[in-house]
Structure 1
């Protein structure tokens, strides 16, 4: 969702910068965690006895700042082009955070939204995408995952899914996927009875 369908970067940066400052975490320590659940980031950066309070704090910061959350290029066209019954969001957000960001961005909400609260292990583990596929009634090997972060792409490959990467938050050379494009505005969707196909738009 974040960085793939919606641009929440300004809000994310504000929240995590404030949190890092409060916890004496440097920008270098915070780097490289995009696409991972907040709980995993907190666990990597702080001692165990600080986890609960630190996680509560970042959740509060993120839930109360949804300014500037908007759809990314191509998102509305993509969600309009694809049947709702074949689309899911699988996000590292908590359920409350996913709800407020979907509402703030005003993107159409799919029937299937899988959050970190719905799985035992978040990205880079495959659980979010396997859960989304199961709720869609789909074989994971017949699913396409659209991602903007290496952790999400690792999770998608582990789930056996095809991958499409967008360069909205991560440099192209760091994205290992079946197809890499700048954004969803750069792909063409075709839907038929056999499934959904995607191809890069030609200049």
Structure 2
């Protein structure tokens, strides 16, 4: 299995999405948003298709401006109170371990408290750089999260590889000028637009070296 040319490139940093890329939080997310939708009179089918979008942006789609602050506080409360069933996705722990001494970061649409709660619940050893939706003016699909992650690592976004599972997250990465590797964990392969696509992180390995980081197909 090749990686459509990614294996021939050298990167200064790897930037990971979190939910759906490193951890499977699907059940917890669904439970929280399903309850929120019932409480706010939103039909369940209207909640679909928002993978990778910050909660504040989703709330803004359904509630008038004077109710949004309360709506955001409520979904944050629901998500923070439910981290049951989180699981580390295949290859995620190994990927982070391989990059422990190399520049890498997580850029997530979660808020900082929720990101820390999910990381703790999963048991992952997270990178030191963690960019969350409450740290940027515009969340995904805007490029801001990945631009800030690259800035904090002191690297050029054009020399970063982003690992994502969601179309809007990939859109954010491309807008930031990053190379993209998609994992087919939450979205059908044909809906993912990336430089290379794999089933999950167990299908690749990261190799830091003196000149940078390479990504290879797993043996």
Asked if these proteins are the same fold (TM beyond 0.5), I'd say: yes
1:78 aligns with 95
Q: 1:152 aligns with which of 169, 172, 183?
A: 169
Aligned to 2:194, the other structure's residue is in SS state: coil
Cα offset for 1:29?
1.3
Supply the RMSD in Å over aligned alpha carbons: 1.1
**Change over 3 Å in CA distance of 1:81–1:127 after alignment to 2:** same
Q: 1:116 aligns with which of 114, 129, 133?
A: 133
> What TM-score does the superposition give when structure 1 sets the normalisation length?
0.96
Cα offset for 1:27?
2.5
Give the 5 Å matches for 1:184-203: 184-201=201-218
Aligned to 2:137, the other structure's residue is in SS state: coil
Which structure 1 residue ranges, 5 or more long, are not aligned?
Answer: none
Give the 5 Å matches for 1:6-155: 6-155=23-172
Aligned length: 202
**Change over 3 Å in CA distance of 1:67–1:132 after alignment to 2:** same
Instruction: Give the conservation status (yes or no) of the 8 Å contact 2:96–2:126.
Output: no
1:166 aligns with 183
Instruction: Give the conservation status (yes or no) of the 8 Å contact 1:163–1:179.
Output: yes
In 2, Cα distance between the equivalents of 1:177 and 1:126?
Answer: 15
> What TM-score does the superposition give when structure 2 sets the normalisation length?
0.89
Instruction: Give the conservation status (yes or no) of the 8 Å contact 2:147–2:157.
Output: yes
Cα offset for 1:85?
4.1
Cα offset for 1:119?
0.7
Cα offset for 1:97?
0.3
**Change over 3 Å in CA distance of 1:84–1:44 after alignment to 2:** farther
Cα offset for 1:201?
3.3
Aligned to 1:20, the other structure's residue is in SS state: helix
In 2, Cα distance between the equivalents of 1:27 and 1:144?
Answer: 35
Which structure has more RCO (C-alpha within 8 Å, separation ≥ 6)? Answer: 2
Aligned to 1:35, the other structure's residue is in SS state: coil
**Residues 50-71 of structure 1: CA distance to partner in whole angstroms, max 9, x if unpaired?**
2111111100000000111121
Cα offset for 1:186?
0.8
Instruction: Give the conservation status (yes or no) of the 8 Å contact 2:20–2:186.
Output: yes
In 2, Cα distance between the equivalents of 1:20 and 1:9?
Answer: 16
1:178 aligns with 195
Which structure 2 residue ranges, 5 or more long, are not aligned?
Answer: 1-17
In 1, Cα distance between the equivalents of 2:178 and 2:129?
Answer: 17
